Structures are given as structure tokens and as C-alpha cells.
Amino acid sequence: MIVTALFFYLFAILCVASGFMVISSRNPVHSVLWLILAFFNSAGLFLLLGAEFVAMIMVIVYVGAVAVLFLCVVMMLDIDVVELRSGMLQYMPIGATIGIILLVELLLVVGTWTISPDIVTAAAPMPAGDVTNTEAIGRVLYTQYVYYFQAAGMILLVAMIGAIVLTLRHKPNVLRQNIADQVARSPETSIEIVKVKSGQGLQ
């Protein structure tokens, strides 16, 4: 129990510190690297909670796809930090208002936070001991919510096709591959055999 508490405080402190460094780093690349560290520590917290599926999602999806993609985009774009910060003052009143509202909401949550005595009995029943967390999620996802799962997949597929269609641009004077024309080619239309006499070159 003591070891679990120590790991919890370690992951929690590192996660909060990484989150603070994400918003305080001046270099966007450094911010992304701190964000990746925050994801790893969040995955450690989920492992302590027994949610290994969510922990793997944090590492595989967020670190392996979102954060790395964001890092590549930040490194490829020529971001002028000075130009971005030149117009910060005009957005300061809106940002300060939103910050004050969030601070008041956090204070209200902390001030009225209590633990219900029947929270343990109201919790959802845990799966059987021989069923892992990932297997339990799979059973529910592919039985009770299979139609919603398929609908979400279709929506993502349509969104992916729409993004490809919207970003596809056909530029003129660009060599493109036409598979049908290549398959329909024959030796008569592809090559030309020229017999050159001895001592003469091609004209």
C-alpha cells in the first residue's frame, strides 16, 4: 500500500509539473516534449487505478499519434514567436475574464467538495477476477454498444474521406501516374527498334 501511494504521488507530481512546463515553455517543441511526458505519467496513474486499457490508449494514441504528429507539424512550420506575441495585448481582457471564471469555478468545487458515505456501494460492480479490464470493455463494446461503435466508425470514415477531398489539389504541369494507361501499353506503343548501320550514329 505504501509503494502504491509513493508511485501515485510520483506520477501525480510529475504530471502536474509537466503540465505546467507545457504552458510555460517558450519553445513550442519543448512544450510538445513536456506534453508527452505528461501523457506517460497520466498512463502511470491509470495503471495504478487498474485501467490498463486507458493507459495503453494514452501511450499508443496520444503519444504515438497525436503528440508526435503535433511535434512534426511544429518542427515543419516556421513559427515566428515574436509575431505571435505582438497581438497578445488585444486578447488580454478576454483571456483574463475566462481565467477568472475558471478560478471561481475551481474554488466553488474545492469549497463544496465532500465524499459521499455510500459512494462505495453505489460504484459499478467490477468484472470477474478472471476477466481483464480490456476484455470487459471489449465485451460491452461489441455486444451492447456494437451499433454505436459501428456508427462512430462510419462517421470517422466519412470525416477522413471529406478531409482528403477538401485538401486534394490538382496542380497543372505535374507528372501523374495513370495505372490504366500503363497496364494498356504494348511493346508496339512503348518501344521503337532502330537498326543502326555500322559506322553510323542516330540522326
Instruction: List pLDDT tens digits, range 153-177.
Output: 999 999 999 988 887 777 777 777 7
- Find the mean pLDDT for residues 70-74: 73
Q: Say what the pTM is.
A: 0.55
pLDDT in tens, 122-135: 545 555 567 777 88
- Please give the grid coordinates belonging to residue 192: 521503337
**pLDDT at residue 27, rounded to an integer:** 78
**pLDDT at residue 127, rounded to an integer:** 53
Place of cell 471561481: 104
Backbone angles phi, psi at 125, to 5 degrees: -65, 140
pLDDT in tens, 181-197: 888 888 777 788 777 77
- Cα–Cα distance, 41 to 53 (Å, whole number): 15
- Cα–Cα distance, 53 to 135 (Å, whole number): 9
Is residue 81 predicted with pLDDT exceeding 80? Answer: no
**pLDDT at residue 17, rounded to an integer:** 92
Is residue 199 predicted with pLDDT exceeding 60? Answer: yes
Instruction: Count each helix (H run) and each strand (E run) in the chain, helices first.
Output: 11, 0
Read out DSSP for 60-82? Answer: IIIIIIIIHHHHHHHHHS---HH
Q: Within a 10 A sphere around the Cβ of 48, how many other Cβ atoms?
A: 14
pLDDT in tens, 14-42: 999 999 998 888 777 788 888 888 989 99
**pLDDT at residue 110, rounded to an integer:** 77
Distances (CA, A) of 155 to 39, 86, 140, 158: 27, 39, 20, 5
- Amino acid in position 36: I
**pLDDT at residue 151, rounded to an integer:** 94
- pLDDT over 70, % of the chain: 83
pLDDT in tens, 145-156: 889 989 999 999
- Cα–Cα distance, 15 to 55 (Å, whole number): 14
Positive or negative, the CA dihedral 109, 112, 117, 118 is negative
**pLDDT at residue 82, rounded to an integer:** 60
Q: Within a 10 A sphere around the Cβ of 81, how many other Cβ atoms?
A: 10
- Please give the grid coordinates belonging to residue 111: 469549497
